Amino acid sequence: MEVTTKGIVFSTIKYGEADLIVHCFTESDGLKSYLLRRILTARKGKLKMSLFQPLMLLELVAIHKNKGTLERIKEAKVAHPFKSLHANVSKSGMVLFLAEMLKNSIQEEEKNRELFQYIENALLWLDEHDAIANFHILFLLKLSAYLGFYPDASNIESQYFNLSEGNFQESPFGTYCEEGLKVEALKGFFGIDFDALPQIKLTKKVRLETLDLMLRYYQLHIQSYKRPKSLLVLNQLY
């Protein structure tokens, strides 16, 4: 079936000498993997390698057989030309990290328009703004709502955050309770949107610890979670 849909590139893998497998999250069908034949050696053609950078937002005309096999892209073009996302060194490091986290976290092979629109709007915001040092923490917190494990903040004034239960507690109960500056920092991300990020002031040490807290939270709530390889680069930047 031929479909026209937006797609967000999560990753690419070289296949053989000339082919490429592209993993995309599509607005119409959720996760899709496409085989692009001879794209690595072709000098002409509708599909260019530059289109398939991490988190590129594309307009796709694709053939979806929906049989669990690799699909085919007939046409692709940029849906929104990002101004800084791939040109700015700091943002490109953020992009690599977010793309890896999204690929590790989203496992839905079905349409989820709300999740797609959340990612799309977040990327558009990231492209337009410069105060982004804490963007990835808020992005992951908000993403967890779409993945089904957003923390319960009804007792947010409590001292402890239980990673396993996903709630705040007055006393440490269980193996995965955390406290301290990283928990207090995490509380500041609840109930805000991206425009409020400049108001959050964290030292690099606390930022790294808060991010690590979120990543351990993801590890407990996502099956087959893989720690992102791009984390080292991200931590050096932020």
The verdict on 193 and 94 lying in the same domain is yes
Report the first-to-last Cα separation within the chain, whole angstroms: 44
Mean pLDDT, residues 25-48: 89
The verdict on 22 and 59 lying in the same domain is yes
Q: How far is CA 21 from its chain centroid? A: 19
CB within 8 A of 206, min separation 6: which ones? Answer: 181, 182, 185
What does DSSP assign to residue 62? Answer: E
Chosen domain end from 56, 78, 100: 78
The verdict on 119 and 72 lying in the same domain is no
What gap in Å lies between CA 105 and CA 93, rounded to an integer? 18
Q: 52, 1, 41: which is closest to 19 by C-alpha?
A: 41
pLDDT score of 188: 98
- Strands 160-162 and 72-78 turn out to be unpaired
DSSP 3-state of 87: coil
**In this structure, is residue 83 part of a structural domain?**
no
Chosen domain end from 39, 59, 78: 78
CATH number reported for the structural domain that contains residue 175 in this entry: 1.20.1440.120
pLDDT in tens, 64-96: 998 878 999 999 999 999 999 999 988 999 999
Q: Is the pLDDT of residue 122 over 80?
A: yes
pLDDT in tens, 168-213: 999 998 889 999 999 999 999 999 999 999 999 999 999 999 999 9
CATH number reported for the structural domain that contains residue 7 in this entry: 2.40.50.140
Per the structure block, which two tokens stand in for 212?
Answer: 């690590």
For tokens 């026209």, the residue is: 4
pLDDT score of 211: 97
What does DSSP assign to residue 173? Answer: -
The verdict on 114 and 215 lying in the same domain is yes
**In this structure, is residue 127 part of a structural domain?**
yes
Q: Is the pLDDT of residue 55 over 90?
A: yes
The verdict on 157 and 47 lying in the same domain is no
Q: Is the pLDDT of residue 51 over 90?
A: yes
> What is the rounded (10 degree) CA torsion for 47, 48, 53, 56?
-50
> How buried is residue 174: exposed, middle or buried, by Cβ count under 10 Å (0-12/13-18/19+)?
exposed
Report whether 51 contacts 76 (CB < 8 A): yes
Q: 108, 175, 169: which is closest to 143 by C-alpha?
A: 108
What pTM did the predictor assign? 0.94
Q: How many CA atoms are closer than 13 Å to the CA of 142, on its beta-carbon side?
A: 21
Mean pLDDT, residues 19-34: 96
Q: The domain containing residue 64 runs over which residues? A: 2-78
- Give the percent of the chain with pLDDT over 90: 81
Report whether 125 contacts 134 (CB < 8 A): no
The verdict on 146 and 205 lying in the same domain is yes
The verdict on 58 and 97 lying in the same domain is no
Looking at the structure of the chain, the number of domains it has is 2
pLDDT in tens, 151-177: 999 999 999 999 999 999 999 988 899
Sign of CA dihedral 174, 180, 184, 190: negative
The amino acid present at 25, given as its one-letter code, is F
The verdict on 70 and 136 lying in the same domain is no
